[in-house]
Structure 1
Amino acid sequence: MKNLPLKAPLGCDTFAAYPPTTRKNLVIFGKNSDRPQGEKQSVMKYPAKSYGKGTKLKCTYIEIPQVEATYATIISQIDWMWGCEHGFNECGVCIGNEAVWTKVPEESESALLGMDLVRLGLERGKTSREAMTVITNLLEEFGQGGACAEGDPSFTYHNSFLIADFKEAWILETAGRHWVAKRHTSGGINISNGLTIREDFDMASNGIKDYAGSLGLWEKGSDVFDFAAVFSEGGVEDLSSSCSRQSCGANMLREYEKSGKFSKMT
C-alpha cells in the first residue's frame, strides 16, 4: 500500500451512534472526508431502477454484472469516479469508508475501488447486514484496487467500512480480498484510517488464517488471530494510542453515552 499524497489532508473518520449515546431513540451517522485538495464531491440523488437480465454495470475501472433492481440513493460522489465516499439509501442504510494500509500487496490496477463498494452496498442492500454481504461478495469476486486519486496511480489503499441501519451497525475491515466484521447494536461506533478489529470479530472471510499464513504474517496453529496486528502495514501501536483520532473519537462518543444527550442538534 502507498502513502497518502502530500496534498491530501490526513484525517478521515466515520461514526454511528445508537442509544444510549443518543437521545429520543435517534440513530445518527456521520463522516468527514480527506480527499486530495482540489477534488470535487457532489451530492447526487439516484432513483430506484430496474434492469434487464444480463445488463452490465461500468464502475470506476471495471465492468461487473448489474442486479435486476437497485434502491434509491443519495450519495456524496467524487466527480471523476462512479463510487462515493458515503451516502444512504431509501431503506435507511448508511455507509462510509476509510482508507487503510495493509501488508497485502496490491493485486490489480483494475478492480473495484472502496468507493465503488460503498455505492454498490447502498444500491443493493436493504439492511446493513445485507449491504455488508453485497460488499464482501463483490470484494471476494472482483478484488479491490486501482488509483484512488485522479492522475495519481501511486495513491492506493484498502478499505474499512461502517455500515449502519436503524437496528445495527457493522464495522467491516479488509485486506485484499479478505475481511473481518464486527456487529454493534448500541452506543457509539467509529473508525478512522486504520484497522481496529483485533481478535473479537463476529464474521470473517473463508480461509483468512491460511491466507495470512501463506504471506508469513501468522503462524499456523496459533491460538490467537489478531486481524489488525496481522495485517496493519504500520502495526497497531499508533492506532491504539490515546492520542489517535480513532481513540479520541471513541472517547467523545463514550462521554455522550454517559449523558445520553447526543442528538441531531449537537
Structure 2
Amino acid sequence: MKRNIIIFLMLIGLPLAGCSAIADLSSNAVQSNQWYSVYDFVDGDTFKIKTGDDITTIRLLYVDTPETKKPNSPVEPFGPEASAYTEQLLNESKKVRLTFDKELTDKYERTLAIVELKDGRILNELLLEQGLAKVLIVEPNVKMENVYKQIEQQAKQNKQGIWRNASDSDNTDIPVKKAARSGIVIEVDKRAELVTITNTTNESITMDGWKLVSVRGNQTYPFGPYELAPKQKVLISSAEESEAPVTNALEWGASNIWNNSESDPAELYNANNELVAVWEDE
C-alpha cells in the first residue's frame, strides 16, 4: 500500500515538473511578438537583451558596422560612432521588439534579428541611413536584401558616414520600397549593352509605366504600353552598333548605358515605384 502511494505521488509530480520546464522554456525563448528589455551593449551591430531568466545576444540582420573590438585589429573608421549611436538609441528605447528571417541564430549562437525600437523605427535601417553600416547579406537570410541595399544607396548618394569620402558613391534617387510581386528576373550583358527581363510566372505582366534603371549612371529606360507574356523574355538594347543583330528588342534610346570598368547594378521598378527585381553586378 505504501509503495502504491509513493508511485501515485511520483505520477502527480511528473506533469507538474513538465509544466514547469515548459514554462521556463517559453519564458526564455525569443519570440517575435513581444518587447524585451535591453540588457547590455557590445558594439554597433550587437547587443544583449533579457529573455526570461536568460541573457540573449542579438546580432542585427543584414547590416555590418565598422569593427571596434575585433582581436588584433585596429578600430575601423566610424566604428566608435556606430557603437555610440546604437547605444544611444537602445538607451532611449529601453525595450525592443524582434523579427526574424530564415535562420534564427548565426554560427556564434547569436540571435539574428531586425530590431524595432519603441518609437517604431528600425535600428538596422537607421544605421544604414546614417552611413554607419554596410549591407551584409548571408544566405538564406535575404528577405529584405533589395530594400536594405536601396537604403545603403541613398546613404552613399548623401555621402553619409562611411561614404563621406567614398569615390564610388552612386548618384541615384530611387524610392525605398519593395514590391510584393516576385518572379521577375533581370540579366545584363554589359558589353553587348543588352538587358534581358524574364517573366518566370504563369501570368502575363503589364509593364506600362515601369522603369529599368542603370544605378551607377542614374539612367532610366521607361516602359510604354507593354505586356510580358508568361514564361517569356523582353530584351532592351542600348548598343550603339550591335555585333550581332538582336530581333524583337526594345531600344533604350541612348547608347553605351552600362559601365564596363566599374560595378553597375540594374534595378526594375513597377508603375508604383516599387522595386521588383535587381541584377547585382559582382
Q: TM-score range by the shorter chain?
A: under 0.3
Who wins on radius of gyration, i.e. which is larger? 2
TM-score by length of 2: 0.24
TM-score by length of 1: 0.25
